[in-house]
Chain A
Amino acid sequence: MANDNTVDILNQQLTKISAENQFLTFKVADEEYGVDVLKVQEIIRYREPTKMPNAPDIVKGVINFRGEVIPMVDLRKKFNLELIDYDDFTVVIILEVKSKIVGIIVDMVSDMLSFNDEDIQTNLEFGSHVDMRFIKGMARLEDRLIILLYLDKLLSFEEYKAISSVNNEGK
């Protein structure tokens, strides 16, 4: 499978990473996103997670990753996009965010890219319909536009905890 190869090569590259401003890019619904490569632990193929009771929609479930139980977040759900069936290209990028390990489910991985600071545009203005909290900036590479994600904000579970504990009490 072509996809398996890509994953292997990328994983190999991951181990050699040293420079900053390197990004692992992936696709979700035809848009290309990038995450800071230093936060990436591994890329694994999608496997059916264990459902987490009463979890928010975006949390697909939990899996066993090297003896740790980690949550998996479906990025399509997170970005409120149309859901598709998972296929051979579907991968899970394992990230370490604020010393927690989380997997994000994406349509496919594409590249390992580095950008100069001047290639990254940070002062972005969109309408109120675009949630800017998760976006660090945009990078341009020839005719590709890559949305760089701000992981700390994107994958914070604090809000769920706050919600669930409010629900717990008082009743």
Chain B
Amino acid sequence: MTSRILSLSPARLEVLVSDYQRKIARRRWQSLLALAILAVLIAVAGKVGEVSPANLIDNISNFTSYFSRILPRIRTETFGADVADWYWNITGWLKLLLDTVLIAYLATLIGAGGAFVMSFLAAANLAPSSWLRWCIKRLFEFCRTVPDLVFALMFVSAFGLGPLAGILAISIHTFGTLGKLFTEAIENIDMKPVEGVRSTGSRFVDIVRFAALPQVISTFASYTLLRFEINVRSGSVVGMVGAGGIGQDLFVAIRKFYYTDVSAILLMIIVCVAAIDLLTEQIRHKLSGGSENR
């Protein structure tokens, strides 16, 4: 049998090698240029951002001692009493935590409801009018770009202290982000059912109900659940500006150096968020039939 490996002539090889090396060299230059740009950006940002590693190193002991200070003293001989002392306000905090979760729930519901209605008008493949589509897209953008705390601050001034301001602020932000995600989900649907329903002379609402909705409803539910988890986290923060939830107590504890209270409240938030994370993840896996497509 003859060998099937073809050997190249030295001249041809020379050409290929030099070509390869030229390409590699060009890529090296591009990478170097990108690195140089990155370095300049880091230098500028470091100057503007007043970065001082020396400051961090000098004060890193503050950071570690902060964590050792917020941890409660729990001894084995007086374990029960120490834990009770650490969580001296457990009923109050649990109530506030429930407040936080319910704020997140209502905000998710309102935001997702609004985004649900608007997203069909904003999707490029279904939108009945292009100027309406443009307006809704800008509205989504506005609602998700302005930070929820800015809305919360304004609503606290308008509606007074309390959960109402927090609910409205978070729901506006949810509306903006979910609106964008929902719109993208609709834009990715299979258009054949839409054509089928449209060919029967249906109205816009029927097209949405029978052609688009069945394709996107599980994606919508999945995004909404994911958002609910994020909103529980934001719900723990809006309290800092007086918009309800556990954030108020956490803010006071941090600012007034009630060290063990900080760790007690943080631990409650972390456990609560983790529980909701696990729960929503289970539901989301069921919805997507066990196969996540993201």
Q: Do A and B bind each other?
A: no
Chain A interface residues (CB < 8 Å from chain B): none
